Amino acid sequence: MSITRRRIASSTSPALAVKLSIVPQDHIDGIWPLAEGHLLKSYRRCDQNIPLELRDDLRKGKRQLWLLTRGDVTIIAAGITTMFVLRSGPALKIEHFGGGYMGEWLHLLEEVENYARSQGCRKVMWEGRRGWIRLLADYEVTAWVMEKRLDDDG
């Protein structure tokens, strides 16, 4: 399944069109080397490693790989989502989006929401750093993830 709606970022040139698309399960292995570096930026920023099972989950459809491309050639960002069932019904969680040029593609997250609706999801969730709150104004903050760094000094 591919999402093909395009938007132009501050220009009318088709070369600058940014497109968001979901990678079909049977294309994961071919696309992975091109997407991994973008995802690694997001995982590093969150002080996480890319899960060892991620590629297998993508191949099996347990998670979804998204690409943001400019002019259908250059990958500028990549993202990971997963779907699961809550008590209130199916939900899609945006796990990671990494890459550059966020100002050109952040508005395309609406396409992820549309995909979630098409899959019967009742919610889209995003867990991320606090800075995302000001960028995702139409999302409600329902939980915080807090952590405490423990020193070896005891």
* Alpha carbon 63 to chain centroid, angstroms: 10
Q: What is the value of pTM for the model shown?
A: 0.80
Looking at residue 144, its pLDDT comes to 72
Cβ pair 104, 9 in contact under 8 A: yes
Q: How confident is the model at residue 142 (pLDDT cuts 50, 70, 90)?
A: confident
Q: How confident is the model at residue 4 (pLDDT cuts 50, 70, 90)?
A: very low
Domain boundary assignment for the chain: 6-135
DSSP string, 6-25: EEESSS--GGGEEEEEEPPG
Q: Tell me how far apart the terminal alpha carbons of the chain are, to the nearest angstrom.
A: 52
Looking at residue 3, its pLDDT comes to 35
Positive or negative, the CA dihedral 70, 75, 77, 78 is positive
25, 34, 78, 91, 105 from 29: Cα distances, Å: 9, 10, 15, 26, 24
For residue 151, pLDDT over 90 is answered with no
- With CA atoms as reference, report the closest residue to 18 among 9, 10, 27: 9
Any residues with CB less than 8 A from the CB of 88 and at least 6 apart, and which?
A: 122, 123
Phi, psi of 78 (to 5 degrees): -145, 155
Q: How confident is the model at residue 27 (pLDDT cuts 50, 70, 90)?
A: very high
pLDDT per position as a tens digit, 42-96: 899 888 999 999 999 999 999 999 999 998 679 999 999 999 999 999 999 999 9
How is domain 6-135 classified at the CATH fold level? Aminopeptidase (3.40.630)
Lowest mean pLDDT among 3-7, 37-41, 94-98, 123-127: 3-7
For residue 153, count CB atoms less than 10 angstroms from its CB and return exposed for 0-12, middle for 13-18, buried for 19 or more. Answer: exposed
Mean of pLDDT over the chain: 84
For residue 145, pLDDT over 90 is answered with no
Any residues with CB less than 8 A from the CB of 54 and at least 6 apart, and which?
A: 63, 80
For residue 134, pLDDT over 60 is answered with yes
Looking at residue 10, its pLDDT comes to 38
